[in-house]
Structure 1
Amino acid sequence: MTVPVADDWRPRLSPGLVLRHDRARETDVLLMPERIVVLHGQASTVLELCDGTRTVPDIVAVLAARFPRAPVGDDVGVFLERTRKEGWTR
């Protein structure tokens, strides 16, 4: 299922959130005030590209080049819309 996201949206992490690698958990996490989100799969790879300079199609293009067999065109839009609803990106 694809989720329509604006082609001109340039997602970036919301203020106060930090993307880090947690050595104790051996995984990437998203640090928030009073909360830690453990990231799975390529979630941190997508979030690293959310720097406010790339549009969603730009992010999809970068990921499609890195992972040619993955359905990034469908998955990235769904994931980014969820991050926006959760308040992780804006």
Structure 2
Amino acid sequence: MSETWKPVLSRSVVFRHDRVRGADLLVLPERVVVLQGNAGSIVRLCDGVRDVDAIVAELAERHPDAPLADEVPAFLGRLRKEGWLK
């Protein structure tokens, strides 16, 4: 994965917060993905402006002790492989 990649949701994917469930969701055609843990805070930063390093840096400010440098790029790579991020 290129570190200069600026992830953004694919056109067919909508990010929403479900107040009833108290969960962040990815709404796709004919499917809803419930994001677990802090996944929503990561996806929320995927605006097509920030690159992966900037996303990791912003999250590191909020969660200084978390192992973000490896986990966030891997997570974003999985979403990209699914076709949810471009």
Provide, for residues 33-69 of structure 1, a one-character-per-residue CA deviation record: whole Å limited to 9, x for no partner: 1000000011111101000000100100000111001
Between 7-16 and 23-32, report the one with greater CA deviation: 23-32
Looking at structure 1, the residues matched to 9 and 56 of structure 2 have their Cα atoms a distance apart, in angstroms, of 17
Aligned-residue offset at 1:16:
2.0
Percent identity at matched positions? 52
Paired position in structure 2 for 1:16: 12
- 2:22 is the alignment partner of 1:26: yes
SS in 1 for 2:25: strand
Residue-pair matches, total: 86
| CA RMSD after TM alignment | 0.8
TM-score by length of 2: 0.96
Q: Which structure 2 segments of 5+ residues have no match?
A: none
Q: 1:1-90 counterparts in 2 under 5 A?
A: 5-90=1-86
Structure 1 residue runs of 4 or more that deviate by more than 4 Å after TM superposition: none
Q: Give the gaps of 5 or more residues in structure 1.
A: none
Output the CA distance in 2 between the equivalents of 1:82 and 1:89. Answer: 9
Deviation at 1:9, TM superposition (A): 0.3
2-side partners of 1:87 and 1:66: how far apart? 28
